[in-house]
Structure 1
Amino acid sequence: MTQLLTPTRRAVLGGIAVAPFILPSRLSAQMRFADYPFTLGVASGSPLADGFVLWTRLAPSPMEPHGGMPMKPIAVDWEVAEDSGFKAVVQKGTETAWPELGHSVHAEVAGLKPGRSYWYRFLCGGEKSLVGRAATLPAAGSAVARMRFAAVGCQHFEAGWYTAFRRVAEEDLDFVFHYGDYIYEYHPGYALDENKRPMQPVRLYAGREPFAIGDYRIRYAQETLDPDLMAARAAHPWFCTYDDHEVQNNWAGVYDQNGTPPEVFVTRRRQALQCWYEHMPVRKSTLLADGTVDFHTRADFGDLARLHLPNTRLYRTDQPCGDNYKPMCAEAAKPGAQMIDPAQEKWLDDGLASSRQRWQGVLQQVMMCPLDRRSTGDSDEDASVHGDKPVFNMDSWGGYPAQRERLFDAFGRKGNVVVVTGDEHQNFASDLMHGGRVVGSEFVSTSITSGGDGHDTRPGNETWMRNNPNLKWTNDRRGYVLSEVTPESWIGHYRTLDAVTVKDMPIRTAASWVVESGKTGLQRA
């Protein structure tokens, strides 16, 4: 594990004088900063077998409009080395930080060796960024003995400290999968516990609820300044996706939850998702010419696993049955109802069918298991409201049963399918059933902070266990799921903290569940 530099001016510069360089004439001439420009740290992501994306954003005053930057493009140099001391630099280049994109940098590096770690940094105006670790994926078809990654997300800034990210930085991982909710769009002070009751925030968001890109930039900057999050972003390459809170709670396609006209809402959505792009280590192709931001992608990890990352928000039809936790209604079976669009569905089906890897990992945003949520104690789920009817989360795959069943059919034809999910603010280990048989298993990762400290078991979950025989285990602490994959098995280690309202808590493994290759169903590891 690389020793990460503390993100201070002294640590970043390390006492090394930076040689001056000449910027291209079409850009700003020899930029000099009054304050350190790399305050938001660095990140790498979207790894391939021969390269990855390197990210930073120039922001000497990150909580001010435009990050304290002049409104002109700036040239930023980058270096990639085979060692953390940069004695063996193997690639270098220059990227433009455009004011239109918040002076963010997305450098796409290629031509590297497969299956190994690299170290990188940025240089601009006589300043150096901190050093980050990136990594390439194993070569296509190569024999791979192990893959380890953490699933993280749902990180409401006000609900707790980001100790879980510090623990992620300390783990031995090949990559991190971020399933979404990097920010929360709530107004300051709107922190809720696991029972949706107000809780005392540990810290407050700056500014009001964001609607325009400048508002969102402030919120992303405040999140990314957190040193624990900054450490996790620098320690490992990330695969990044978004869910709802990057824009607004429970948005779906062109619809928000407040009945805003779609032509108005898409303006907010476009600005919010551009801001997500500006702060994530994702490829430039993620930002389309028409302003659409779509991350869905696929990655092969040698002969061990094919990873599919669909987008379950951008092309979704409006949630049926009035959204939230409801009994099934006729609207859910309406032709054309979709969680992902037909092109993505075909892409996913083709990707499963053509794969020669041992495992299929579907890394996505919302729960696939159609969990009956009756009688948990929440008013909109209680039997006194809905009687004995099964209750489903309409903001999950539970609200789109026809497309889910087609997907489960594809899982059954392929075998060795594991789904890794977030969104729920709880841990779940469950089997996915289709036609009376198990066709896959799902590890749902809890939140980093959302919901506050939680409990080992949320009151009412025992009813879920009775009503859902395919649900094997649940837990209500904060943390992440660490997947450990070998040719023989896929193990989900549920890593949890006893509190997030207290800083620097230790991490523990609350439970581990395993799927064995060639067999169906979860077992205790």
Structure 2
Amino acid sequence: MTQPVSADHELRAAARHLGRRRFLTASGAAAALAFGTNLPDTARAAAPLDPKRITKDPFTLGVASGDPLPDSVVLWTRLAPEPYEAASGLPAETVTVGWEIAEDRDFLLTADEGSTTAHPEYHHAVHVEPGGLEPGRVYYYRFRVGDWTSPVGRTRTAPATDAEVESLRFAAVSCQAYHQGYFTALKHLATEDVDVVFHLGDYLYEYAVDSAGGARAYEDRVLPAHFDKETMTLEDYRLRYSLYHADEDLQAAHAAHPWVVTWDDHETENNYADDVPEDGGNAEKFLVRRAAAYRAYYENMPLRKPQQPQGADLRLYRRLRYGKLAQFDVLDTRQYRDNQANNDGWKVPNAESEDPARTVTGAEQERWLIDGWQASDALWNVLPQQIVFARRRNRTQDPSPVSMDAWDGYPASRERVLDGARAAGVRNLVVLSGDVHVHYAMDIKEDYAKPDSRTLGVELVTTSVASGMDGAEHPEDWEVMLKANPHMRYFDGRRGYLLVRLDRKGLRADFRVVSKVTSPGGTVSTARSFTSAAGDPGLTEV
């Protein structure tokens, strides 16, 4: 019989995975529960489950792949015969899961296969990293438990690191509040021809979802009452991911393409900053919540082993290459940032917000980014991240407020990053952003007070999948934002996603919008398209 583990033992285990400051601020029994979530103890592993005892489909949450390398890709699923139950309908026992990846959809040409263990400590999530794959090609994959077989997923490896890639096509999505609409944009994204999808944050929202699914206003089913509260505990976050992953359109988009994910704030709590919660409350209690949120995030995303959480920390920033054509430096602008200045919101910049010591990335991630640019030989350097990078004013008169939650609230941090890009000789900088539930196309300027100053790169901001409900082509602030920001080439408040094509001559960005999300059946169209020439940054409407 397994002996109970003392709170002191749990805290000592946590200390091995946390920095001294973070450990000292997170003490007590609550922290022990939150931080005692490391790898399962294989020496005392739970008993294996006889697969014949699984009488319902365990693959209700679909399949996914992500973080493609030239010879490998992450394969993901999570076993959940009863996805809306806390334990997902499985006992606290290990489950053996078979997996297979093949060159064809019929699995006649197997590239790799094997089995792995789904541990109850990880909510029966599965992360597989098959190796020995060929670069730049499509593969198909599936999982098996007993007599049950998962849906088939389609994925694609990255090209060889030194490959002279002619072109690359990718998508960017963000902000999918389940309670504010259907994931119609993802349904259409599943049919697009792209090499990879970047999710730029707010994969889920912590807010309560009522029995009718919020704006979805279900008439044919009732959601359990445990969704109708804000997520706080590990169980809360796990259940919320189950709700999202059970969505057919989200499953379709995951099964169609490999995804590269990064978070923003709502995966944990709105507008948090490092260990500071939204309301500025107790850091110790918040780190316990953050540990639960980060744990559930890893369990439910196609992430590699280096992204396993260590208590309240999870290193999410990482680098991917697509031959010599593009380098993607994926950022985390939540976990390491200084608290928002001036009590957050839209405020006129002052000495606090313009303090040169302030950072949105943290010093270590900033060095990692700039060092990566110094070593890059890619034609395009793309920065998938969360919050708006370019300056945004919300009135034409001086002084104008700017968003304290975006890079505008950390101007010294932004300048250091741009200085690093200039010093590294980055000529084709593309920043991908989400967060704000609108499409923007913007030039990144050397001096925003001088519209004719040098353009240092371009920023492409994707609107939300569902957050904000149907939205409008011209939001209330549409006219003033365009006038106050001459570098803003486009602004659209509808739901949708972004498509980008890179080649050796230039970039093309297609801003896709859907007609509605508050009821099923929305159509998709391209609202606007822009290009930017390689070596001569600046957006031009097609």
TM-score between both structures, scaled by the size of structure 2: 0.86
Q: Secondary structure at the match of 1:277?
A: helix
Check if 1:414 corresponds to 2:414.
no
Within a 5 Å distance, the mapping from 1:356-371 to structure 2 comes to: 356-371=377-392
Q: Which residue of 2 aligns with 1:398?
A: 408
1:212 aligned onto 2:233: yes
- Give the 5 Å matches for 1:333-344: 333-344=354-365
Q: Cα distance, 1:153 vs. partner?
A: 1.6
Which AA in structure 1 matches 2:461? V
Aligned residue for 2:455, secondary structure, equals strand
Deviations 1:76-131 (A, max 9, x none): 11001000000111101111111111110000111110000100000112211010
Mapped contact 1:77–1:93 kept (Cα < 8 A): yes
Match of 1:437 among 454, 464, 474: 454
Q: CA deviation at 1:290?
A: 3.9
Would you say 1:31 and 2:43 are equivalent positions? Answer: no
Counterpart position of 1:322: 343
Partner of 1:260: 281
Cα drift, residue 499 of structure 1? 1.3
Q: Report how far residue 366 of structure 1 moved.
A: 0.6
Secondary structure at the counterpart of residue 332 of structure 1: coil
Q: Compared with structure 1, are the counterparts of its residues 104 and 416 closer, same or farther at alpha carbon in structure 2 (3 Å cutoff)?
A: same
Question: Offset of 1:207 from its aligned partner?
Answer: 3.1
**Aligned in 2, Cα 1:473/1:190: closer, same or farther, shift over 3 Å?**
farther
| Cα distance, 1:189–1:34 mapped onto 2, change above 3 Å | closer
- Cα deviation for residue 307 of structure 1 reads 0.6
Q: Equivalent residue of 2:240, what SS?
A: helix
Q: Give 1:461 shift.
A: 1.6
SS of alignment partner, residue 372 of structure 2: helix
From 459, 463, 466, give the equivalent of 1:446.
463
Measured after TM superposition, the shift of residue 459 of structure 1 is: 1.8
**Range moving further from structure 2, 411-420 or 440-449:** 411-420
Write the distance in 2 (CA, Å) between the matches of 1:102 and 1:153. 25
- Shift in Å, 1:356: 0.8
Distance 1:52 1:29 in 2: 28
For residue 484 of structure 1, the aligned residue among 495, 501, 506 is 501
- TM superposition shift of 1:487: 0.7
SS of the counterpart of 1:63? coil
Residue 216 of structure 2 contacts residue 519 of structure 2 at CA under 8 Å; is this kept in 1?
A: no
- Structure 1 position 210, deviation (Å): 1.0
CA contact (8 A) 1:494 1:512 kept: yes
1:43-58 to 2 correspondences below 5 Å: 43-58=64-79
Cα 1:231–1:240 shift into 2, 3 Å? same
Deviation at 1:454, TM superposition (A): 1.1
The Cα of 1:29 is off from its aligned counterpart by 5.0
Residues in 2 aligned to 1:48 and 1:427: alpha-carbon distance in whole angstroms? 29
Question: Secondary structure of the equivalent of 1:65?
Answer: coil
Partner of 1:426: 438
Q: CA deviation at 1:493?
A: 0.4
State the partner residue of 2:140. 119
After superposition, the CA RMSD in angstroms is 1.8
Q: Distance in 2 between matches of 1:291 and 1:332?
A: 27
| C-alpha separation in 2, matches of 1:402 and 1:29 | 55
Question: Does structure 1 conserve the Cα–Cα contact (< 8 Å) formed by 2:49 and 2:93?
Answer: no
> Is 2:245 the partner of 1:235?
no
Q: Which residues of 2 match residues 174-253 of structure 1 at below 5 A?
A: 174-188=195-209, 200=215, 202=217, 206-253=227-274
Report the secondary structure of 2:101's partner residue.
Answer: strand
Equivalent in the alignment of 1:348? 369
Deviation digits for residues 341-386 of structure 1 (CA, Å, limit 9, x no counterpart): 11111111011121111111111011101101238xxxxxxxxxxx
Q: In 1, Cα distance between the equivalents of 2:161 and 2:216?
A: 47
Residue 382 of structure 1 aligns with which residue? none
* CA spacing shift, 1:335–1:402, aligned 2, 3 Å: closer
The CA distance in 2 between the partners of 1:405 and 1:335, in whole Å, is 10
Which AA in structure 1 matches 2:485?
N
Kindly report which structure 2 residues correspond to 1:9-24, keeping only aligned pairs within 5 A, or say none: none
Q: Within 2, Cα distance between the matches of 1:295 and 1:327? A: 32
SS in 1 for 2:528: strand
Measured in 1, the distance between the counterparts of 2:200 and 2:354 equals 27
| SS of residue paired to 1:512 | strand
8 Å contact kept, 2:326–2:380: yes
Report the 3-state secondary structure (helix = DSSP H, G, I; strand = E; otherwise coil) of the residue aligned with 1:71.
coil
Contact 1:148-1:175 at 8 Å conserved across structures: yes
> Aligned residues: percent identity?
39
**Alignment partner, residue 479 of structure 2:** 462
Number of equivalences: 483
Residues 406-454 of structure 1: per-residue CA shift (max 9 Å, x gap) = 1122333311111111001000000111254211100000000111111
Q: What is the DSSP-based 3-state SS (H/G/I as helix, E as strand, rest coil) of the residue aligned with 1:521? A: strand
Give the structure 2 partner of residue 276 of structure 1.
297
Question: Alpha-carbon deviations, 1:147-178, whole Å to 9, x = none?
Answer: 11110120011111111101110000101100
Task: Determine if the alignment matches structure 1 residue 307 to structure 2 residue 328.
Answer: yes
Matched AA of 2:414: R
Task: Look up the match of 2:450.
Answer: none
1:521 matched residue in structure 2 = 538
* Amino acid in the other structure paired with 2:473: D
Query: In the TM superposition, what whole-angstrom CA distance separates every residue of 1:221-279 from its partner, at most 9, and x where no partner exists?
Result: 11110101100010000001111000111011001111221111010011011111111
Q: Please say if 1:144 is aligned against 2:189.
A: no
Q: CA deviation at 1:189?
A: 5.2
Three-state SS of the structure 2 residue aligned to 1:67 is coil
Distance 1:110 1:324 in 2: 46
Kept in 1, the 8 Å contact 2:84–2:243? The answer is: yes
Q: Aligned letter for 2:482?
A: M
Q: Tell me the secondary structure at the aligned position of residue 471 of structure 2.
A: coil
| Structure 1 unaligned blocks of 5 or more | 1-24, 192-198, 376-386
Asked whether the 8 Å contact 2:185–2:465 carries over to 1, the reply is yes
Question: Structure 2: how far apart are the matches of 1:200 and 1:166?
Answer: 18
2:298 matches 1:286? no
Cross-structure match for 1:507? 524
Secondary structure of the residue aligned to 2:413 is: helix
Displacement after TM superposition at 1:485 (Å):
0.8
Question: What letter is aligned with 1:285?
Answer: P
SS of match in other structure, 1:68: coil
In the alignment, is residue 107 of structure 1 matched against residue 128 of structure 2? yes
In structure 1, distance between residues paired with 2:118 and 2:174 = 27
Shift of residue 291, structure 1, vs aligned partner: 4.7
Amino acid of the structure 2 residue aligned with 1:521: G
Distance in 2 (alpha carbons) for counterparts of 1:349 and 1:202? 47
Q: Which runs of 5+ in 2 are unaligned?
A: 1-44, 448-452
Instruction: Give the match's secondary structure for 1:216.
Output: helix
* 1:163 pairs with 2:184: yes
Deviation at 1:511, TM superposition (A): 0.3
Is the contact made by 1:160 and 1:202 (CA closer than 8 Å) also made in structure 2? no
SS at match of 1:61: coil
How far the C-alpha of 1:132 sits from its partner, in A, is 0.1
Mapped partners of 1:346, 1:89: distance in 2: 41
SS in 2 for 1:431: strand
